[in-house]
Every structure is written in C-alpha cells, then in structure tokens.
Amino acid sequence: MDTHRTQAQRIDLVGKIGSMALIRREDQDIDYNIFSRLGAELKPGMIWVTSGATEIGRLDYIKRCGEELHGELEQDKADYAAQGQMILMQNYRQFIPPEYSVRQILVEHWHFNDPEKREHLRDMFLRAGSQKAIPIVNYNDPLSDEENRKMELAARRREGVEVHECVDNDETAAVIANLVHAKTLVLMTSTEGIYRDPTDPDTLVRDVTGRNPEELERKVRELQEHCRGASRQGANGARAKLEYALESARRGTTVIIGHARHRLSDLTEGRVACTRIGLE
C-alpha cells in the first residue's frame, strides 16, 4: 500500500486567512474575535496558512513608538513582520484548544521549488495530524529578499521547471493543498467571495463548476475578466485568488472563497454565502 497516499487522504482541509481579515480597521487593532472563532474550529487534519504578521507588527510598532517606520519599504515590511510573527502565533496558541499542539512553519519559495525540501514539508504536514498537531504556516517575510528571489525564480523559469513564488499566501495555501491532496481549500478574505461586479453585492458568484478540468478552466478565465482591485498594497486581489484556486480545483480539491467573519464550518458546509469552485 502507498503509505504517503493513505496519509494524504487524512488532510481534510487547507485554509488561509488574509491580513486585513485579522484587523479591526476602524480601531487599527487585532480582531480577537476572528482568532477566537478560528481557534475553536481548527483541529488536527487541517493545515492553516495565515497572513497578518506584517500588518500586526506595524500596528504594534505604532502603539509602542507613536509612529510608523520611515525606511525603505521592503526593509520596513521585513522589520514589521519580524515583530508581528510572535504576536500572530501567540493569538493562535491562545485560542486553539490546549489539547492540540500548534506548530509554526515559516516557508519561502525555494522550499516548494526544491524537490527534497518539498517532500520534507509534505511529510511534516502529514505527520502532524496523527500527532494531534495543527501546522500554522506563513511566508518567512523577515528573511525574504525580493531582488534575490526574483533572480532565482527567473533562472528556474529559463530551465523550464515548475516555479512557485508563494509570497502571496493564497498561492502558498494552494500549493500546500496540491502537495497533500487536500479535500478542501478555504481562502478566507474580507469579502463574501468573487463578484462579477465588485461594486454590486448582488453579483456574488456562488458556484463555478465544470464537468472536466477544461470546462472549469474556461469558466474561471471568464470570471477573471470581471476581477480588479485588492484589499491592500502588495496584494494581488480576486484575479490572483482565482488563478491559484484553479490549479487546486483542477486536481479535485473543492475551493471555497468566503468572508472571514463566517465560521469555518459554515463555509465548508454551505450555510453561508461564498464562492465554491470545483469539478462536478
């Protein structure tokens, strides 16, 4: 029997939450209700990808120093992320039930582009469920250098090999879902899902399905034409979410894009409005 395949079937869900979904914008503070709601539902057999370190670190710095950093943008982001990582993990540990272990896994693009590193990550994710542990994954922003990353990725593209950048945690979540053959991929964001007209809430697209991967791709491509904008500087928005979701959906994973104010179980069980993408 293929042991890896048997274990991989135990990964029920890979989920991701965006930075701004973890913030009360009106108060410029952490939304502890989101952490509490998530923590109550996360359990072994799930892998959780979280953004938020940079924004939470920025807010914490402002509280302590009374102003923002004024250096180079990429350096400021790295410094904020280093400050925010601890606070981010502290909140997950606080609200996840104490009988479960919580494991922080900081990844960079080369972990997924190198076959040995990718297999190492895969085995770690699969072990966690049987060990009553929940992996909490984030991109390692404090140690990420954009110029070096772009050069490395360009070199790999010239070699004609598959390349993952994974700076956007939507891509990180999708790549992990593909790696472990997850049944469901949930992308939590600050909207109810994908809209044909982002200014009209009545145009929410509830289902994008296809009888085969080719039909599904055609429908996703058509929907991408209606997408524009992003929730924050540096984010890629709905178009990119659909791009990452498509690859997972083509492989048989059901992808759900929905608002972070909803319970995870309400999204997965279809009790609230969201966008679902998958094969029929």
What does the pLDDT look like over 84-95, one tens digit per residue?
999 999 999 999
Residue 82 falls within a domain, yes or no?
A: no
What's the structural domain count of the chain?
1
Quick one: pLDDT band at residue 157, thresholds 50, 70, 90?
low
Lowest mean pLDDT among 79-83, 192-196, 210-214, 227-231: 227-231
Taking alpha carbons only, the member of 178, 232, 175 closest to residue 51 is 232
In a domain, 240, yes or no: yes
User: Is residue 217 domain-resident?
Assistant: yes
pLDDT above 50: residue 142: yes
Number of Cα atoms under 13 Å in the Cβ half of residue 105: 26
Q: What is the pLDDT of residue 112?
A: 80
Q: Is residue 57 in a domain?
A: no
* Cα 264 from Cα 48, distance rounded (Å): 11
Q: Which residues pair with 134 in a beta bridge?
A: 102
Kindly report the average pLDDT of the chain as a whole number. Answer: 86
**Strand (E) positions, the chain?**
13-17, 23-24, 29-30, 46-50, 101-107, 133-139, 184-189, 207-210, 254-259, 275-279
Which pLDDT score, from 0 to 100, does residue 226 have? 82
pLDDT 10s digits, 160-217: 555 455 458 899 999 999 999 999 999 999 899 999 998 899 999 999 999 999 999 9
Average pLDDT over residues 264-272: 97
Domain of residue 239, residue span: 3-51+96-279
CATH of the domain at 165: 3.40.1160.10
Among 65-74, 95-104, 195-204, which range has the highest average pLDDT? 95-104
Q: How does DSSP classify residue 205? A: -
Whether the predicted model's global pTM rises above the 0.75 cut: yes
- Tell me, yes or no, whether 272 lies in a domain: yes
* Per-residue confidence band for 13, with pLDDT thresholds at 50, 70 and 90: very high
Output the pLDDT for position 6. Answer: 41
> Which DSSP helix (H) or strand (E) runs through 69?
none
- Count Cβ atoms below 10 Å from residue 203 Cβ, excluding itself: 12
Confidence of residue 2 (pLDDT cuts 50, 70, 90): very low
Q: CA–CA separation, 212 vs 194, rounded Å?
A: 21
